[in-house]
Structure 1
Amino acid sequence: MPSPAWSAQKHPWLAAFTLMAVVAAILGALLADPARTDGWRMLHWLCKPLATMLILRLAWSARPALSRRYRQWISAGIACSLLGDVLLMLPQDLFVPGLVAFLCGHLCFLAAFLADSRFAVRPLWLLASWGCGAVNLWLLWDSIGAALRLPVIVYVAVLSSMGGQALARAGMFARRGDAQAGSARRAAIGAMLFMLSDSLLAWNRFHAAIPWSSLWVLSTYYLALWWIARSVQRDDTLVEAGAAQ
C-alpha cells in the first residue's frame, strides 16, 4: 500500500501561497513607513495573519495525523499564535495581551508533546532549555520594565518548558528507534526556532534595535510554525507499519 504524501505535496498551491504570504508579510514590515500607515504597512497587516492561517490549514489537513489529539492541540496552538499575530501587529500597545495569546499557544504545543511522552522524560534536555531561558532573561532583566517582569518570567518559563519537552520527546523516540522519531524531530526543530524567534523579538524590544529585525524575527517565527505544523503528519514507516497489521 503506498504511503500517503504529506499535505504540502498533496496541495502544492497551499504551500506556495503560504510562502508568498510569508514573503509579503516580511517585505511589508521591512518597507513600511514607521511614521504612517502606508501600502506596505497594509500589506504586512494583511499577510502576517494570512500566512499563519495558511500554516494552520496545512496542519489541519495533514493526513494521516499522528493522532487526533495531537492535531487538535497543535492546531489550537497555531490558532493562538494567529491571535497573537493580530494583537502584536496593531498600532496600539497590546504587548501583554499578545504575550498571553502566545503563552496559550505554547501551552497547547506542550499539551500536544505530552500526549505521548511524560513531562521531563529526558530531564537534561529540559534543564538545558530552562537554562537558556534563564540566561536570556538575566541578560535582559535590567531592560525590562517592572510592570512587565512577572508576565515575561511566566512566558519564558512556559516557552522554555515547551522547547525542553520537545527536545526530550525527540530524544526519547530517537533512542528507541520509534517510528514517531521523525515527527518528534520536526516538532523539536520548530520549538527551537520559536525560542530563537522570541529571543530575537525580546532583544529587539527591550535591549536595542536589531538591524532588519523583522526579517530575522518573522522568518524564524514562520519556520517554527511550519516545522511544528509538519510534525502533525505521521511518517511513512509508521503508516506502513499500521497498514501491515
Structure 2
Amino acid sequence: MEERTRRLWTLAIIISASAAILGAEVDGLGGLHYAFKPLTTLLILGMASRLTSEVPGYRRLVIAGLLLSMLGDVFLMLPFDGFVFGLGSFLLAHVAYLFALRKRGSWWAVRWPMAAYAIIAALVFAQLWPRLPVELRVPVIVYVLALAGMAAQAASVWRQQPCAMTRMAAIGGAFFVLSDAMLALDRFSVPIPHAPAWVLVTYWIAQWCIARSVASSTP
C-alpha cells in the first residue's frame, strides 16, 4: 500500500473515532457512538486487509482478531449489559493476535515482558478484586491472562526480531493493556474522568498499531 493511501486510511479512522468518542461523551449524540464505534474498528480492519505481510497467515489472524474485536465493540455498547459477551469476543481476539505473533517468533523467548505484564496484571487485580462481582472473577482472570500473554508475546517478538513491524505490535499490545486497565478500573473500582474517551483513544491506537504490524514495511 502506498504511503498516501495509508495516510488516507488513517485519516478516515481518526475522523470515525472522533465521532464515536464525541457520541460517547456528549449527551444527545449517542447515535454517533452507535454508528461510528464499530465503523472505526471496521476501517482499521479494512486498512489491515490492504497491507501485505511477509509472514504467511499473519494478516489472516490479525483480521480475525479485528472482526472479533468489532463484535466485542457491538456487545459492549448494546442497551443490555453485554459485558460478558464482549469479554468473550475480545478474549478470542487476543487468542487470534497471540497465534499471529507466534508466527513471528518463539513463545515468550524473551522473559522480561512476561514478568513486567504479570506485575501490571497483579496490581490491577489487587485494585479490582474487592469490588469485582464473584460471577465475573473467573472470566476476568482468564481474559487478563490472555491479554497479558498477548502483550508479552508482542514485546518478546520485538526483542527477538527488532524491526518496524514487531515494534508496532509491541506498542499495540501495551496500549491494549492500558485501555483495558482503565476500562476495568472505571467500571469496578475508581471512576476515571472522561473514561470513555481515554479508553477508546488507547483502544484504537492499539488496534491501529496491531493492524499496521501486518505491513512488510512502514514509513
Normalising to structure 2: TM-score of the pair? 0.96
Candidates 120, 123, 131, aligned match of 1:135: 123
Take 1:57 and 1:130, find their aligned partners in 2: how far apart are those partners? 33
Take 2:199 and 2:191, find their aligned partners in 1: how far apart are those partners? 12
Does 1:23 find its partner at 2:23?
Answer: no
Superposition pairs of residues 1-245 of structure 1, within 5 angstroms: 5-6=2-3, 9-10=4-5, 12-32=7-27, 38=28, 40-62=29-51, 64-174=52-162, 181-235=163-217
Residues 93 and 69 of structure 1, relative CA distance in 2, 3 Å threshold: same
Deviations 1:183-224 (CA, angstroms, capped at 9, x unpaired): 000000011000000000000000122111111000000111
Take 2:183 and 2:49, find their aligned partners in 1: how far apart are those partners? 27
Native 8 Å contact 2:164 2:218 kept in 1: no
Q: RMSD across aligned C-alpha pairs, in angstroms? A: 1.5
**Matched residues, percent identical?**
37
**Paired residues, number:** 219
Deviations 1:65-88 (CA, angstroms, capped at 9, x unpaired): 232400011111111100000000
Considering only CA atoms, is the larger Rg found in Structure 1 or Structure 2? Answer: 1
Take 2:124 and 2:191, find their aligned partners in 1: how far apart are those partners? 16
Take 1:129 and 1:12, find their aligned partners in 2: how far apart are those partners? 32
The one-letter code matched in structure 1 to 2:172 is G
Take 2:196 and 2:178, find their aligned partners in 1: how far apart are those partners? 13
SS of corresponding position for 2:54: coil
1:127 Cα offset (Å): 1.9
More deviation, 164-173/116-125: 116-125
1:12 Cα offset (Å): 4.0
The one-letter code matched in structure 2 to 1:217 is V
Aligned to 1:35: none
Listed as ranges, the gaps of 5+ residues in structure 1 are 33-37, 175-180, 238-245
Normalising to structure 1: TM-score of the pair? 0.86
The one-letter code matched in structure 2 to 1:25 is A
Native 8 Å contact 2:55 2:103 kept in 1: no
Take 1:12 and 1:208, find their aligned partners in 2: how far apart are those partners? 37
